[in-house]
Chains A and B, each alone.
Chain A
Amino acid sequence: MANLDNVKIMNPADSKIPEGPIAEKWTNYKAHQKLVNPANKRKLDVIVVGTGLAGASAASTLAELGFNVLNFCIQDSPRRAHSIAAQGGINAAKNYQNDGDSVYRLFYDTVKGGDYRAREANVYRLAEVANNIIDQCVAQGVPFAREYGGLLANRSFGGAQVSRTFYAKGQTGQQLLLGAYSSLNRQIQLGKVKSYNRYEMHELVLIKDKDGVERARGIIAKNLVTGKFERFAAHAVVIATGGYGNTYFLSTNAMGCNCSAAMACYRKGAYFANPAFVQIHPTCIPVHGDKQSKLTLMSESLRNDGRIWVPKNIEDAVKLQKGQIKGSDIPEEDRDYYLERRYPAFGNLVPRDVASRAAKERCDAGFGVNNTGLAVFLDFSEAINRLGIDVVRQRYGNLFDMYEEITDVNPGEFANEKNGVKYYNPMMIFPAIHYTMGGIWVDYELQTSVKGLFAIGECNFSDHGANRLGASALMQGLADGYFVLPYTIQNYLSDQITVPHFQTNTPEFDAAEAKCIADEEKLMNIKGTRSVDSIHKELGHIMWEYVGMARDKEGLELAISKLKDLRKTFEKDLFVPGTMDGMNIELDKAFRLNDFITMGELIAYDALSRNESCGGHFRTEYQTEEGEAKRDDQNCFYVSCWEYEGSDDKAPELIKEPLHYEAIKVQTRNYKS
């Protein structure tokens, strides 16, 4: 374990935050950055790994500017990146509703929602470019929801008191991604983007230039159909490979979401920042059995009209757990709307971390409402009585149907009338791993600690601090890809215009490819007895139990030792059927699992070293008497950056990037009044 008393402190200049007042930084940066002229752009190649909102928007925009782009994804089409699954919406500070929104307010809400652990300057820029995203997407033909007057509609989301979320039915991520995919397709057609589908990046290739500096110059990617490794070179590499939520096995992420590309960068010297900041989403369908492969998110937008509750009386909870009564049997006066009770100002719309912990608190106290005791109700009775079922169905019908398909229960179905009050079937929900705020460390230019390597979208750490607000990930992914990286990467590339197109027949590429092959041979040759999934599930249990919603020192130390044992199991007892020739889906999963184990350790180390509770990171030792998170701004006002020490068996080294706030006064987060 790194010695925390004499940890390294990062030089403040390394984050490259521009001079000037917060509202002028980005303008100043753009005015003074170096650009690449059009004739030179043609000479420069950029690799973009990932085709989600971040990757697709970056790849298409870089190509529009004139760079040659190589774009990779593991799915069979760029359109299937995990961003497609985002339901709820995307934020912007348009203030179309005239409800007092502004760039500053969006900035402020995002910093506050992130529990004051994000970098101020990056967040301000995010809020600043958010409006451009909506314009861009509308121009692409994204069919956002509209009012009868023809203008765009908005809804509200957790952690905000204004209505600033744009949406396309319950399929916002899909529509935004298809918009980015359409721009990408145009560039593929024009020959400016080369698209590699069913390719998985395994290795980052660094080359030491004559000036003695190592720069990212390429990747080794596996063609998942042929099973062969292939080499790709470029002047810069951009990673847009999404989050690491699947470390926990069960999460709302798609099955293919992984952290392997990020881990490859980490092992090559890119710092990994704030890994412990993992978001647990309060409204997911509860776990039903041990064969389950993933958890389904019920959009946060449901909290606009749905009310969250558990019984007031423990006897009722016990009956619910035994299946003797149903939620709709419990009358209004015996329900505990605990979020409204504890947080009168925000009620059901408190941020995700607060809502998740409050659910856990009630369930730990025995008030859970299903057979496992790990669920709470999300109820629409009041909304249906107020608005009528038609309006409620219009808003949430597709989510109700989705819920019914999975659980066989129809929420919103009339169930009961007592003392003149009509009760409808509630949903059952429980928190689940959803999003990862931590990620590859980047500076203001979105460049990692490796020269020429950039990270965008969920896979970087930059904008959400210790907790992300709803509808802000889509905003960040597209901000990075459409409006930030295409500028900042030029500041780097402007020095590279004399560097000719790279060849891949160099010793660096030989070595990198040889390592990829050797790693796979090692996995194939273990020939043990355990399947990949069986070990991954075990990893998930350790993570959820000790590194999940509530953490403490003892548990985290235990987790680290359990993870070390799990790695031994993996290395000694894994079994991968088939061969290395052609497609081998188990081998691909084994490759990813190896990285998930490393990632799990990293999360645990970070959680252990951060002696405070903030956002998604809750250490039970650090809480107020009312059970709220207790931050330590004196000692923990920093970004933790973890540096690889040359081997997965060694503990990583902590480097702290101190945070500096100029515009915002750091306060205790208050959603009560």
Chain B
Amino acid sequence: MEENIMKVNLRVWRQAGPKAQGAFVTYNNVETTPDTSFLETLDILNETLIEKGEEPIVFDHDCREGICGMCSLYINGHPHGPATGATTCQLYMRRFANGETITVEPWRSAAFPVIKDLMVDRNAFDKIQQAGGYVSFNCGGAQDANNLPISKVKADEAMDSASCIGCGACVAACKNGSAMLFVSAKISQLALLPQGEVEKDRRVRAMVAKMDELGFGNCTNTGACAAECPKNIKLANIGRMNRMFIAAKCKE
């Protein structure tokens, strides 16, 4: 298997710090192969920058397997690039044409300020989870796991919602910068399971209030979030959350 070389031009957003003025810089003829991942291609570019004594492009990444939610990147106008159901770290260069110019930007959202180059601050997501994304009980007091039968259908559905990796692509994709898909995924996971039942009203009120407070936009049912979500989190989660929110508000 001969490795066939391909070349791409990378047009990358560079920004020295949170308050600095950013700009696109184009790096021409970056050499890579179709079997190399997109992030490995950025690694290759970074090595050449370092060789020239320049600072490498900063971007978030860790697992490189599509599960930690660390990688981000707005590639050619799509969060996580052109592939559907995949994160940036799961993107391979065979998706691009030889000689193509690829534009790479950070998530753009008021709630996710840029830290440096392509790295943004997603702390707001943690804050929403802290507001209520849990079942309130202390370690040690749980009953035997099989004392609580749960229908497989419900458990599987909860699992689908729980698959959210907290990457923020939904916010980046949304013209309003709404976090509804992310928040509703957690709400739904716990709402579908009996363990989450007891606190469901409190949870939805607290998480939605926190989301609003942190400057995420409103949902106008455009559906861009679900279309770009690398984990195929369904729009139905948002519907469920809205119903639960109204019900919880009425009870208040």
Contacts and interface: CB of A to CB of B under 8 A. Distances in A.
Given A82-B63, A533-B43, A183 B139 contact: yes
B65 interface: yes
A482 B141 CA distance: 12
B134 A197 contact: no
Determine the interface band of chain B, counting residues with CB < 8 A from chain A: 35 or more
Which has the most chain B C-beta neighbours within 10 Å: A61, A146, A175? A146
B6 interface: no
Contacts of A78: 126
Interface string B107-145: 000000001100101110110011111111111111111
Given A143-B189, A294-B64, A76 B159 contact: no
A463 B55 CA distance: 43
A602 B130 CA distance: 41
Contacts of B130: 185-186, 188-189
B251 interface: no
Interface in B28-71: 32-33, 35-37, 39-40, 43-44, 47, 49-51, 53-56, 58, 60-70
A402 interface: yes
A627 interface: no
A185 B142 contact: no
B129 to A, nearest CB: 5
B35 A289 contact: yes
Contacts of B66: 402
A583 B155 contact: no
A76 B121 contact: yes
Interface in A116-145: 132, 134-141, 143-145
A138 B142 contact: yes
Contacts of A407: 35
Contact of A254 (B62, B123, B135, B190): B62
Given A189-B130, A294-B64, A149 B47 contact: no
A171 B160 CA distance: 11
Interface string A538-550: 0000000000000
B152 A146 contact: yes
Contacts of B3: 288-289
Given A185-B133, A408-B94, A533 B69 contact: no
A150 B146 CA distance: 8
B146 A152 contact: yes
A585 B58 contact: yes
Q: Is the interface of B mostly helix, strand, loop or mixed?
A: loop
Contacts of B68: 75, 80, 82, 84-85, 254
A531 B51 CA distance: 7
Interface string A176-220: 001001110110110000010100000000000000000000000
A84 B67 contact: yes
A645 B146 CA distance: 52
B63 A64 contact: no
Interface stretch (A301-309, A516-524, A574-582): A574-582
B170 interface: no
A296 interface: yes
Interface string A362-386: 0000000011000000000000000
A135 B55 contact: no
A670 B17 CA distance: 59
Interface in B142-169: 142-146, 148-152, 155-156, 158-159, 162-163, 165-166
B129 A185 contact: yes
A182 B134 contact: yes
A79 B33 CA distance: 32
Contacts of A482: 139-140
Nearest to B16: A582
A140 B195 contact: yes
B144 A135 contact: yes
A85 B58 contact: no
Contact of B139 (A61, A533, A586): A61
A168 B195 CA distance: 17
Interface residues of A, number: 84
A141 B195 contact: yes
B250 to A, nearest CB: 25
B179 to A, nearest CB: 14
Contact of B70 (A75, A168, A288): A75
Given A77-B166, A186-B136, A289-B36, A171 B1 contact: no
Which has the most chain A C-beta neighbours within 10 Å: B116, B130, B132? B130
Contact of B134 (A85, A186, A586): A186
Which has the most chain A C-beta neighbours within 10 Å: B58, B67, B144, B152? B67
A216 B61 CA distance: 32
A255 B155 CA distance: 32
A168 B35 contact: no
B25 interface: no
Nearest to B69: A80
Contact of B145 (A75, A134, A189, A584): A134
Interface string B80-124: 000100100010101000000000000000000001100101110
Given A143-B159, A150-B149, A182 B139 contact: no
B217 interface: no
Contact of A578 (B55, B83, B145, B155): B55
B65 to A, nearest CB: 6
B209 to A, nearest CB: 13
Nearest to B58: A585
A323 B144 CA distance: 54
A94 interface: yes
B137 A586 contact: no
A293 B123 contact: no
B247 interface: no
Contact of B65 (A85, A134, A136, A151): A85
Contacts of A80: 62-63, 68-70, 166
B193 interface: yes
B215 interface: no
Given A146-B150, A168-B159, A586-B56, A139 B135 contact: yes
A383 B158 CA distance: 29
12 contacts: A84-B68, A94-B146, A141-B196, A171-B163, A182-B129, A255-B61, A288-B35, A292-B36, A531-B51, A577-B54, A578-B55, A585-B58
Interface of A: 57, 60-61, 64, 75-80, 82, 84-85, 94, 96, 132, 134-141, 143-152, 168-169, 171, 173-175, 178, 181-183, 185-186, 188-189, 195, 197, 225, 254-256, 288-289, 291-294, 296-297, 323, 370-371, 402, 405-408, 482-483, 486, 531, 533-534, 575, 577-578, 582-586
Interface of B: 1, 3, 17, 32-33, 35-37, 39-40, 43-44, 47, 49-51, 53-56, 58, 60-70, 83, 86, 90, 92, 94, 115-116, 119, 121-123, 125-126, 129-146, 148-152, 155-156, 158-159, 162-163, 165-166, 189-190, 193, 195-196
Given A143-B159, A182-B135, A186-B134, 4 more contacts: A57-B139, A76-B121, A78-B126, A136-B142
Q: Name the 10 nearest CB pairs between A and B, nearest first.
A: A150-B149, A182-B134, A139-B142, A135-B142, A143-B159, A138-B145, A143-B158, A64-B138, A254-B62, A185-B130
